[in-house]
Structures are given as structure tokens and as C-alpha cells.
């Protein structure tokens, strides 16, 4: 069984030494590490290997979105690295997500395969700008159902989305929530934010927390405060 922490810390750095210094302030008993585009592009697979040797679980957040054959091979390669969670973008369509599932199934590992629905930085105005006329709620529901039909394990979504979609999805579906802020009044590039406790109450199973921890004077203290809050 793939057992993962309830919280992953997003390490958004483009320098390997800075990333390592930050990660070493954290505990693998308290959290996993999310490696996104910035860190992976700067450091490559070696940072995944280093993090795993420190006993952390890894969430590889590259949001694969390409033709099905390419995504299948990318997911196979990611699975071979031994990551615990990886994701694709559901806007790539059901065939692409099915291919992602096939790529993982061909590997010797079994990471959770998660679909991104709509980024938490997107609001209704952004949807209109890109030509999507359905509401955020309807769009997320449609994408989540498509991910479920493609046999994915869950979705990345705002905690506020869960109440509108959970009755249409499998009972064991995973909801991973980024955009976590310690104060709902914080203003930055994340538009659909929630506090850690509110997210868990709304149904989030795994939280992804970046700046509130990584930009803190003492990241470990903030991490432990969040863990205590949601336990």
C-alpha cells in the first residue's frame, strides 16, 4: 500500500544548495516534499534521489499535458524514479489520462496518479479570458469525473471545490489541496485559498503548503503547528 504523509511542503527553488538547506530543516516524519517545475528543471532527477535518501516521500508536480503516448512514457519514467505521487493535467483529456495510467502500470512502482483540475490561481475571470463558458464548479466537476473514469486516484483541487463534487466521485478518491494559507485574508497570486484546518474539514486528504512554511523564519515550527492543527 502506498502510504503518504498528510502534508507535502512545496520546495520552489532554482538552486540545489538552497533547496537542500531548506529541506534539511524539515522532518520526513512530519511531511513529504513536493518537487515542481522550478526545482526539477533546475536540478533534474538528482534532487529526487537526494530527497528520497533523506527518507522523504516525493510528490512530483510536473502536471504532464501532452499527447497520450508522450504522457504514458513520462509517467513510466517518473514511476521508475520511485516517487509517491505524480500528476497530469486533466485538460489533456480522458485518453491522455488513460495512457498515464498505463505508463504507471507498466512500472514496478505504484505512485498515486492525480489529475489537476483547475489551478487555484484561476478564477471565473480567467476562465472567460481563455474561452471557457462553463462555471468553475461545473468545469471542475466534469474534469474530476473524467479523471475518475480514467482510473486516476484523485485530483488536485481547492478545498472549496470538494463539497460540489464528492458525491459524484468514488468514496476513496483523494483530494489534494494547494493554495493553503495560514490566514484567509492573504493576498497573492493564489485566488482560491483555504486555511489548513478548513481544508481538512472540507474533505482534503493531503495538503500542499509552500510559502507559509518555506518563507517562515523557522520552517519546522510552522510545519509542526500545522500538523498539530489538522491532527
The pLDDT assigned to 207 comes to 97
pLDDT digits (tens, 9 = 90+) for 85-119: 999 999 999 999 999 999 999 998 999 999 999 88
Domain span at 226: 7-230
Note whether residue 174 is domain-resident. yes
pLDDT tens-digit readout, 10-28: 999 999 999 999 999 999 9
Q: Look up residue 204 and give its three cell numbers.
A: 482534503
Residue 2 lies in a domain: no
H-helix or E-strand containing 154?
strand 154-156
Q: Which CATH number fits the domain that encloses residue 204?
A: 3.20.20.70
- Residue 168 within any structural domain of the chain: yes
Measure the CA angle with vertex 55, ends 213 and 12; round to 5°. Answer: 35
Q: Is 13 a domain residue?
A: yes
Number of structural domains in the chain: 1
How many Cα neighbours within 13 Å face the side chain of 9?
30
pLDDT tens-digit series, residues 156-192: 988 888 988 999 999 999 999 998 888 655 554 444 5
Active-site annotation holder among 6, 20, 37, 63 = 63
Given a cut of 80, is residue 120 above it in pLDDT? no
Element of type H or E holding 140: helix 136-149
| Within-domain flag for 163 | yes
112 vs 121, which has greater pLDDT? Answer: 112
Q: Is residue 171 in a domain? A: yes
Tell me how far CA of residue 142 lies from CA of 61, 63, 94, 136, 149, in angstroms: 22, 18, 11, 10, 11
pLDDT exceeds cutoff 80 at 149: yes
pTM over 0.75: yes
Take residue 47 and report the three cell numbers written for it: 534532487
Is 63 an annotated catalytic residue? Answer: yes
**Residue 150 pLDDT class (50, 70, 90 cuts):** very high
State pLDDT tens for residues 40-77: 999 999 999 999 999 999 999 999 999 999 999 999 99
Amino acid at each position: 500500500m502506498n502510504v503518504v504523509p498528510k502534508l507535502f511542503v512545496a520546495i520552489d527553488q532554482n538552486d540545489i544548495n538552497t533547496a537542500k538547506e531548506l529541506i534539511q530543516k524539515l522532518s520526513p516524519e512530519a511531511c513529504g516534499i513536493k518537487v515542481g517545475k522550478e526545482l526539477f528543471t533546475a536540478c533534474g532527477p538528482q534532487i529526487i534521489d537526494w530527497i528520497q535518501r533523506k527518507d522523504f516521500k516525493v510528490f512530483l508536480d510536473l502536471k504532464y499535458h501532452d499527447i497520450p503516448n508522450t504522457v504514458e512514457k513520462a509517467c513510466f519514467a517518473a514511476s521508475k524514479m520511485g516517487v509517491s505521487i505524480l500528476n497530469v493535467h486533466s485538460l489533456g483529456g480522458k485518453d491522455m489520462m488513460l495512457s498515464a495510467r498505463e505508463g504507471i502500470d507498466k512500472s514496478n512502482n505504484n505512485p498515486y496518479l492525480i489529475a489537476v483540475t483547475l489551478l487555484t490561481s484561476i478564477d471565473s475571470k480567467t476562465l472567460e479570458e481563455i474561452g471557457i463558458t462553463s462555471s468553475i464548479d461545473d468545469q471542475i466537476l466534469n474534469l474530476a469525473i473524467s479523471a475518475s473514469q480514467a482510473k486516476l486516484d484523485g485530483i488536485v483541487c481547492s478545498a472549496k471545490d470538494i463539497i460540489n463534487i464528492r458525491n459524484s466521485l468514488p468514496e476513496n478518491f483523494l483530494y489534494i489541496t494547494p493554495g493553503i494559507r495560514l490566514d484567509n485574508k492573504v493576498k497573492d497570486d493564489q485566488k482560491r485559498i483555504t486555511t489548513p484546518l478548513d481544508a481538512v474539514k472540507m474533505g482534503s486528504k493531503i495538503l500542499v503548503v509552500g510559502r507559509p512554511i518555506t518563507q517562515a523564519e523557522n520552517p519546522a515550527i510552522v510545519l509542526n503547528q500545522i500538523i498539530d492543527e489538522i491532527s
